[in-house]
Amino acid sequence: MKLRTLLVVGSLALAALGLTLTNAQSTTQNQTIAQIVATNPNFSTLLAAVQAAGLVETLSGPGPFTVFAPTNAAFAKIPKADLDKLLADKAALTKVLTYHVVAGRVPSSQVVTLKEAKTVEGQNVTIEVKDGKVILNGNSTVTAVDIQASNGIIHVIDTVLLPK
């Protein structure tokens, strides 16, 4: 009897977890890229940058876009004085941010087959798979993939990409 109760409770817990995970994915699929960035505390610096560059409306638009989204820790790798200067220079900031965006929806299954991808900024970002990890421009590792949005997809990266 005790084993049966344990199995029932365990099954219900797993079912609830499955519904929660499915619901979380459904929730992001109904949000734009801008909304996902705005509601994820790991992207607060990215959000500030997107707002400073005036790109919220663009990332709320129909897209579709693929965004290689740097985390707060990625931005923290940039010396504070340099980051402050970048955030104050709208043209330079726009160039950096649009270098993180590829037109169209590019899932991770496709990213790993590419050698490079043309960004909205106009330059290519290089892509390589090394030791099972996707590396952009030789120094930025993709740490999370395929965050679905209503207007595209987000891949999380650990280093800010800087155009030439």
For helices 80-88 and 90-98, the axis angle rounded to 10 degrees is 100
**pLDDT at res. 123:** 98
pLDDT bin (cut points 50, 70, 90) of residue 92 is very high
The predicted-structure confidence for 50-64, as pLDDT tens digits, reads as follows: 999 999 999 999 999
> Are 1 and 45 contained in the same domain?
no
Output the domain CATH number for residue 84: 2.30.180.10
Same domain, yes or no: 117 and 39: yes
- Whether residues 16 and 78 share a domain: the answer is no
Residue 24 lies in a domain: yes
* Structural domain containing residue 95: 32-157
Give the CA-trace dihedral at 60, 61, 65, 71, to 10 degrees: -10
Q: Which residues contact 70 (CB under 8 A, 6 or more apart)?
A: 45, 46, 100, 140, 156, 157, 158, 159, 160, 161
pLDDT recorded at residue 29: 77
pLDDT at 9: 34
Q: Does one domain contain both 43 and 71?
A: yes
- Higher pLDDT residue, 4 or 128? 128
| Per-residue model confidence (pLDDT) at position 20 | 36
Q: Is residue 140 part of a domain?
A: yes
Same domain? 24 vs 70: no
**Number of domains, the chain:** 2
Question: Residue 27's pLDDT is what?
Answer: 52
Indicate if 68 and 134 belong to the same structural domain.
Answer: yes
Q: Is residue 7 part of a domain?
A: yes
Q: Are residues 24 and 61 in the same domain?
A: no
**What is the C-alpha to C-alpha distance for residues 40 and 57, in angstroms, rounded to an integer?**
18
pLDDT digits (tens, 9 = 90+) for 104-151: 999 999 999 999 999 999 999 999 999 999 999 999 999 999 999 999
Is the domain of 65 the same as that of 8? Answer: no
Q: What is the pLDDT of residues 10-48, one digit of tens each?
A: 333 333 333 333 334 445 679 999 999 999 999 999 999
Confidence (pLDDT) at 28: 66
